[in-house]
């Protein structure tokens, strides 16, 4: 049964193209009938002119080919995979979990949800943090880039940083970073085997950080994202998230 639905799904674009072409042809015939009145006499006159018939055949063939190519491009664009990226201040984006081998100590894990909102699967999905900025409490101070950061992939929750596959409508999570209760002023961006980047709120006038990155795939257009993160340096709790 599943195989039957897959086959039918593959045939739908071809059936749709044929139906559109037939409907357009019917509309042309109706318009000709209304404008000429006696369509049979008109057709007989046309067929008596062999040169006109030859040119009409060429025009019709070109029109059919052009329409088929246009519909093929349109349907491919319609079925193309696309990414959506979200982050929030509660589950499932922020989850407290016990630290391995540290008793009952709870760590706060912050995640990004990556979803394929397109209509076909996408392979080789990878999420990269490409820029990190310091945000300051003074409004007149512009965000300051952290120079020591280079673009690095994030790891998929429960796995590693290797590219993943997302079916149409499916979503998954990547680990953005972790917050430790014994260092409430710190948030650590986690890049698995590529290391980490510690963000501190104990620096002068620093009020938060801006995380900028991109989701990449094989066919989908790269999806950029940016989130402002801030938290209370004196308390251990959820991180405030603002999507830009």
Q: pLDDT tens digit string along 142-188? A: 999 997 777 899 999 999 999 999 999 999 999 999 999 999 999 99
pLDDT, tens digit, 9 for 90 and up, residues 113-141: 999 998 888 999 999 999 999 999 888 88
Q: Pick from 21, 47, 78: which residue ends a domain?
A: 78
Q: Pick from 51, 78, 105: which residue ends a domain?
A: 78
Q: Pick from 78, 109, 133: which residue ends a domain?
A: 78
Write out the residue range of the structural domain in which residue 128 sits.
Answer: 83-243
How many domains would you assign to the chain? Answer: 2
**Which pairs with CB-CB distance under 8 Å and at least 24 residues apart come from 27-31?**
none
Residues 123 and 71 in one domain: no
Residues 92 and 191 in one domain: yes
SS3 at position 109: strand
Confidence band for 28, pLDDT divided at 50, 70 and 90: low
Residues 99 and 159 in one domain: yes
């Amino acid at each position: 049964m599943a195989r039957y639905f897959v086959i039918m799904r593959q045939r739908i674009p071809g059936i749709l193209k044929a139906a559109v072409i037939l409907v357009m042809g019917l509309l042309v015939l109706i318009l000709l009938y209304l404008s000429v009145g006696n369509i049979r006499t008109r057709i007989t006159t046309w067929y008596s002119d062999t040169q006109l018939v030859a040119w009409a055949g060429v025009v019709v063939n070109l029109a059919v080919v052009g329409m088929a190519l246009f519909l093929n491009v349109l349907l491919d664009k319609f079925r193309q995979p696309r990414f959506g990226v979200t982050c929030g201040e509660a589950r499932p984006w922020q989850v407290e979990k016990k630290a391995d081998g540290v008793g009952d100590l709870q760590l706060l894990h912050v995640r990004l949800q990556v979803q394929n909102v397109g209509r076909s699967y996408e392979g080789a999905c990878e999420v990269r943090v490409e820029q990190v900025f310091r945000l300051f409490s003074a409004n007149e101070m512009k965000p300051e880039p952290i120079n020591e950061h280079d673009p690095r992939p994030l790891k998929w929750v429960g796995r590693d940083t290797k590219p993943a596959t997302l079916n149409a409508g499916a979503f998954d999570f990547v680990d953005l970073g972790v917050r430790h209760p014994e260092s409430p002023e710190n948030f650590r961006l986690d890049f698995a085997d590529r290391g980490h980047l510690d963000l501190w709120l104990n620096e002068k006038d620093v009020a938060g950080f801006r995380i900028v990155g991109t989701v990449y795939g094989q066919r989908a257009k790269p999806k950029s994202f940016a989130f402002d993160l801030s938290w209370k340096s004196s308390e251990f709790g959820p991180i405030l998230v603002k999507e830009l």
